Amino acid sequence: MSEIKNKLGEVLKRYSESFSIKIYTDDYNDTDVLMNAFGVTQELKSENKQYWGRELGKCWENLIRDLFEATCEDFAPPKRFGADEPADFFVGNDAVDTKYRVGSGDSGTLKKFEQYGKLLQKEGFNPIFLFLRTDNLRAALSKMDAGGWTKLMGDDAFAYILEKTKFDLKAWLIALEESGTYKIDRNET
Protein backbone atom coordinates (compact mmCIF):
# COMPACT_ATOMS: atom_id res chain seq x y z
CA MET A 1 0.00 0.00 0.00
CA SER A 2 2.85 2.45 0.69
CA GLU A 3 4.00 2.13 -2.94
CA ILE A 4 0.50 3.13 -4.09
CA LYS A 5 0.40 6.04 -1.64
CA ASN A 6 3.83 7.19 -2.84
CA LYS A 7 2.76 7.02 -6.48
CA LEU A 8 -0.44 8.96 -5.79
CA GLY A 9 1.49 11.36 -3.58
CA GLU A 10 3.74 12.18 -6.54
CA VAL A 11 0.70 13.32 -8.54
CA LEU A 12 -0.51 15.52 -5.68
CA LYS A 13 2.99 16.93 -5.08
CA ARG A 14 3.26 18.09 -8.71
CA TYR A 15 -0.11 19.82 -8.50
CA SER A 16 0.59 21.28 -5.05
CA GLU A 17 3.77 22.90 -6.36
CA SER A 18 1.91 24.25 -9.38
CA PHE A 19 -0.94 25.58 -7.24
CA SER A 20 1.50 27.24 -4.81
CA ILE A 21 2.52 29.66 -7.55
CA LYS A 22 -0.97 31.19 -7.39
CA ILE A 23 -1.57 33.58 -4.47
CA TYR A 24 -5.07 33.90 -3.00
CA THR A 25 -7.05 34.36 0.19
CA ASP A 26 -9.04 31.89 2.27
CA ASP A 27 -12.72 31.39 3.26
CA TYR A 28 -15.85 29.98 1.59
CA ASN A 29 -17.77 26.71 1.84
CA ASP A 30 -18.66 24.75 -1.33
CA THR A 31 -15.57 22.55 -1.62
CA ASP A 32 -14.73 18.89 -2.17
CA VAL A 33 -12.10 16.49 -0.83
CA LEU A 34 -9.64 17.22 -3.64
CA MET A 35 -9.92 20.98 -3.16
CA ASN A 36 -9.56 20.46 0.59
CA ALA A 37 -6.41 18.34 0.15
CA PHE A 38 -4.80 21.36 -1.52
CA GLY A 39 -6.48 23.96 0.70
CA VAL A 40 -8.29 25.45 -2.31
CA THR A 41 -11.36 27.39 -1.19
CA GLN A 42 -14.41 28.14 -3.33
CA GLU A 43 -13.49 31.81 -3.13
CA LEU A 44 -10.02 31.05 -4.48
CA LYS A 45 -11.46 28.82 -7.18
CA SER A 46 -14.00 31.45 -8.26
CA GLU A 47 -11.19 33.92 -9.00
CA ASN A 48 -10.27 31.79 -12.03
CA LYS A 49 -12.86 29.01 -12.46
CA GLN A 50 -11.52 27.85 -15.81
CA TYR A 51 -7.99 27.37 -14.47
CA TRP A 52 -9.07 25.56 -11.32
CA GLY A 53 -11.66 23.43 -13.08
CA ARG A 54 -9.16 22.33 -15.72
CA GLU A 55 -6.32 21.68 -13.27
CA LEU A 56 -8.42 19.91 -10.63
CA GLY A 57 -9.96 17.84 -13.45
CA LYS A 58 -6.54 16.77 -14.74
CA CYS A 59 -5.39 16.02 -11.19
CA TRP A 60 -8.52 13.88 -10.59
CA GLU A 61 -7.95 12.04 -13.88
CA ASN A 62 -4.26 11.40 -13.09
CA LEU A 63 -5.00 10.19 -9.56
CA ILE A 64 -7.70 7.78 -10.71
CA ARG A 65 -5.76 6.45 -13.70
CA ASP A 66 -2.55 5.96 -11.67
CA LEU A 67 -4.45 4.27 -8.84
CA PHE A 68 -6.21 1.83 -11.19
CA GLU A 69 -2.98 1.15 -13.08
CA ALA A 70 -1.15 0.38 -9.82
CA THR A 71 -3.86 -1.85 -8.34
CA CYS A 72 -5.84 -3.54 -11.13
CA GLU A 73 -4.32 -6.42 -13.08
CA ASP A 74 -6.92 -5.92 -15.83
CA PHE A 75 -6.06 -2.22 -16.31
CA ALA A 76 -5.56 -1.09 -19.91
CA PRO A 77 -4.63 2.38 -21.22
CA PRO A 78 -6.97 4.33 -23.51
CA LYS A 79 -7.90 2.64 -26.77
CA ARG A 80 -8.38 4.35 -30.10
CA PHE A 81 -11.54 3.71 -32.05
CA GLY A 82 -10.83 5.42 -35.35
CA ALA A 83 -9.77 8.96 -34.46
CA ASP A 84 -11.45 8.87 -31.03
CA GLU A 85 -10.32 7.91 -27.54
CA PRO A 86 -13.69 7.71 -25.78
CA ALA A 87 -12.42 6.73 -22.31
CA ASP A 88 -9.45 7.54 -20.06
CA PHE A 89 -8.68 3.85 -19.40
CA PHE A 90 -10.18 0.38 -19.23
CA VAL A 91 -10.56 -2.06 -16.34
CA GLY A 92 -11.86 -5.41 -17.53
CA ASN A 93 -15.05 -4.64 -19.46
CA ASP A 94 -15.41 -1.18 -17.91
CA ALA A 95 -14.45 1.81 -20.07
CA VAL A 96 -13.77 4.49 -17.48
CA ASP A 97 -13.79 8.22 -18.11
CA THR A 98 -13.10 10.62 -15.27
CA LYS A 99 -14.50 14.08 -14.80
CA TYR A 100 -14.04 16.45 -11.90
CA ARG A 101 -17.43 17.81 -12.92
CA VAL A 102 -19.19 18.55 -16.18
CA GLY A 103 -20.38 22.07 -16.71
CA SER A 104 -20.17 22.50 -20.47
CA GLY A 105 -23.36 22.72 -22.45
CA ASP A 106 -21.41 22.95 -25.72
CA SER A 107 -23.38 20.98 -28.32
CA GLY A 108 -20.24 19.29 -29.69
CA THR A 109 -19.29 18.05 -26.24
CA LEU A 110 -22.81 16.85 -25.52
CA LYS A 111 -22.95 14.92 -28.82
CA LYS A 112 -19.66 13.19 -28.01
CA PHE A 113 -20.96 11.99 -24.64
CA GLU A 114 -23.81 10.23 -26.39
CA GLN A 115 -21.73 8.96 -29.34
CA TYR A 116 -18.86 7.67 -27.20
CA GLY A 117 -21.17 5.78 -24.87
CA LYS A 118 -22.89 4.05 -27.78
CA LEU A 119 -19.52 3.29 -29.44
CA LEU A 120 -18.14 1.75 -26.26
CA GLN A 121 -21.24 -0.40 -25.78
CA LYS A 122 -21.08 -1.54 -29.42
CA GLU A 123 -17.46 -2.61 -28.76
CA GLY A 124 -18.61 -4.66 -25.73
CA PHE A 125 -17.62 -2.26 -22.94
CA ASN A 126 -19.57 -0.79 -20.02
CA PRO A 127 -19.08 3.00 -20.25
CA ILE A 128 -18.60 4.48 -16.77
CA PHE A 129 -18.10 8.11 -15.78
CA LEU A 130 -16.46 8.81 -12.41
CA PHE A 131 -17.28 12.33 -11.20
CA LEU A 132 -15.73 13.78 -8.09
CA ARG A 133 -18.39 16.48 -7.76
CA THR A 134 -22.15 16.15 -7.83
CA ASP A 135 -23.00 19.64 -9.19
CA ASN A 136 -23.03 18.63 -12.86
CA LEU A 137 -24.92 20.19 -15.76
CA ARG A 138 -28.24 18.38 -16.30
CA ALA A 139 -28.11 18.66 -20.11
CA ALA A 140 -24.73 16.91 -20.17
CA LEU A 141 -25.94 14.18 -17.83
CA SER A 142 -29.00 13.53 -20.03
CA LYS A 143 -26.73 13.07 -23.09
CA MET A 144 -24.66 10.61 -21.06
CA ASP A 145 -27.86 8.74 -20.24
CA ALA A 146 -28.75 8.66 -23.94
CA GLY A 147 -25.29 7.18 -24.62
CA GLY A 148 -25.71 4.46 -22.00
CA TRP A 149 -23.12 5.75 -19.54
CA THR A 150 -23.24 4.73 -15.90
CA LYS A 151 -22.64 7.97 -13.99
CA LEU A 152 -21.09 7.67 -10.54
CA MET A 153 -20.76 10.92 -8.62
CA GLY A 154 -19.27 11.84 -5.27
CA ASP A 155 -19.55 9.00 -2.77
CA ASP A 156 -20.78 6.59 -5.47
CA ALA A 157 -17.60 7.23 -7.48
CA PHE A 158 -15.48 6.66 -4.37
CA ALA A 159 -17.35 3.41 -3.64
CA TYR A 160 -16.62 2.15 -7.17
CA ILE A 161 -12.95 3.13 -6.81
CA LEU A 162 -12.70 1.32 -3.46
CA GLU A 163 -14.44 -1.79 -4.83
CA LYS A 164 -12.12 -2.03 -7.86
CA THR A 165 -8.81 -0.92 -6.31
CA LYS A 166 -9.24 -1.90 -2.64
CA PHE A 167 -7.87 1.58 -1.83
CA ASP A 168 -9.98 4.12 0.06
CA LEU A 169 -9.10 7.21 -1.96
CA LYS A 170 -11.63 9.41 -0.18
CA ALA A 171 -10.27 8.57 3.28
CA TRP A 172 -6.73 9.11 1.99
CA LEU A 173 -7.61 12.56 0.61
CA ILE A 174 -9.35 13.50 3.86
CA ALA A 175 -6.26 12.42 5.82
CA LEU A 176 -4.12 14.58 3.53
CA GLU A 177 -6.34 17.58 4.26
CA GLU A 178 -5.86 17.00 7.97
CA SER A 179 -2.09 16.57 7.63
CA GLY A 180 -1.66 19.57 5.34
CA THR A 181 0.86 17.58 3.25
CA TYR A 182 -0.15 19.12 -0.08
CA LYS A 183 -1.62 22.43 1.03
CA ILE A 184 -0.68 25.10 -1.44
CA ASP A 185 1.54 27.91 -0.26
CA ARG A 186 -0.45 31.12 -0.46
CA ASN A 187 2.25 33.35 1.03
CA GLU A 188 3.85 35.90 -1.23
CA THR A 189 7.50 35.23 -1.93
Residue 22 in this model has a pLDDT that exceeds 70: no
Helix (H) or strand (E) holding 50: helix 49-71
Q: CATH number of the domain at 2-179, out of 3.40.1350, 1.10.287, 1.10.10, 3.30.1370? A: 3.40.1350
Percent of the chain with pLDDT over 90: 60
Domains of the chain, residue spans: 2-179
Residue 20 in this model has a pLDDT that exceeds 80: no
Residues 125 and 92: beta-carbon distance below 8 Å: no
> Model pTM?
0.82
- Give residues with Cβ within 8 angstroms of 75, minimum separation 6: 68, 69, 89, 90, 91
Rounded to an integer, what distance in angstroms lies between the CA atom of residue 157 and that of residue 97? 11
Encode pLDDT of 132-154 as tens digits.
998 888 878 888 999 999 999 99
DSSP state of 187: S
